[in-house]
Amino acid sequence: MLVSLSLDKSISKDVAIMVDVLRASATINVALNNFNKVIAVKDKDNAIELAKKYNAVLAGERDGAPIPGFDTGNSPVEMQNFSGDTLVLTTTNGTRILEGINATALVGSFINAKSVAQKASEIAEDHIEIVMAGVRGRFAIEDFLGAGEIISYLKNYELDEMAMAAYMASRDEEMVKKAIMNSKSSLTLQKLGFLEDIKFSIKKNIYDIIPIYEKGIIKNYTN
């Protein structure tokens, strides 16, 4: 089994795990705890239309700030206050990356690293790709380190060099925390008042939810 690491664009036709540590992966995990499904949308106007059509809660952000007129932004902490049948979610990076995945697409982060890695191991034939969301196509260290945490549960497989690097970089907990707290994404979010989201998003294995994305809909994986 090959484990590879990509940025923004997915190449796998087998299993891909989208990693967007700050904050879409965490928000999606929390949402699937409170909603039956999440409709992930790249486009803001499309999100508004779908929320009306499905009488859904409408959540989204651009560059970290909640979209005016939406019910809520992309805060995993605030998402705990919402529940229902369907959530429509549009974010700057994570929901966009999912649309570009042609493999079986799972969503992972620190908060569900062990569960998502185990499920990927179960269902993949020969290739598990971890796709870092990054920020608008640029490398984001939090997604690299979150990928490394997931890879730590896949380390007995054949790791490509990027995957090996992420695994190695993610081993020192104090360094990981410091690097993420001082990352560009984190400093932006802290300025917007979302420090609690960052602390929440880097907690390890607090969820055993396995979000699976198929044709725009994210649900909790059931066998």
For the beta sheet containing 158-159, the strands, ordered from the edge strand earlier in sequence to the opposite edge, are 65-66, 57-62, 84-90, 35-40, 217-220, 211-214, 104-108, 15-19, 127-132, 2-7, 158-159
Comparison of 8 and 20: residue with beta carbon closer to ligand L3UKIRZJ: 20
Do residues 43 and 156 make contact, with C-beta atoms less than 8 angstroms apart? Answer: no
Between 23 and 127, name the residue whose CB sits nearer to ligand L3UKIRZJ: 23
Lookup: tokens for 83 = 């529940």
Residue 92 partner contact from Mg ion, ligand L3UKIRZJ, none using kind-dependent CB cut-offs of 5 to 8 Å: ligand L3UKIRZJ
Residue 101 is a binding residue for ligand L3UKIRZJ (CB under 6 A) = no
Q: How many CB atoms lie within 10 A of CB 62?
A: 13
Number of helices (H) and strands (E), helices first, in the chain? 10, 11
Map the footprint of ligand L3UKIRZJ across residues 40-69, applying CB under 6 A.
Answer: 61, 63-64
Distance CA 127, CA 119 (A): 13
Which residue lies nearer to Mg ion by CB, 61 or 129?
Answer: 61
Partners of 104 in the β-ladder? 15
Selected from 91, 104, 183, 220, the binder of ligand L3UKIRZJ by CB under 6 A is 91
How many residues are present in the chain?
Answer: 223
Q: What is the DSSP letter of 103?
A: S
Closest distance to ligand L3UKIRZJ from the beta carbon of 41 (Å):
12
State which residue, 10 or 93, has the beta carbon closest to Mg ion.
93
Q: Which of 170, 185, 186, 220 is in the footprint of ligand L3UKIRZJ by CB under 6 A? A: 185
Check residue 93 for interaction with ligand L3UKIRZJ (CB under 6 A): yes
Inter-residue contact 32 to 209 (CB < 8 Å): yes
Closest separation in Å from C-beta 103 to ligand L3UKIRZJ: 20
Q: Is 210 in the site for Mg ion (CB under 5 A)?
A: no
Q: If binding is defined by CB under 6 A, does position 189 make contact with ligand L3UKIRZJ?
A: yes
**CA-CA-CA-CA torsion sign (92, 97, 24, 39):** positive
Enumerate residues 109-148 that contact ligand L3UKIRZJ by CB under 6 A. Answer: 133, 135
Residues that bind Mg ion (CB under 5 A): 20, 22, 93
For binding to ligand L3UKIRZJ (CB under 6 A), which residues are involved? Answer: 20, 22-24, 61, 63-64, 74, 91-94, 133, 135, 185, 188-189
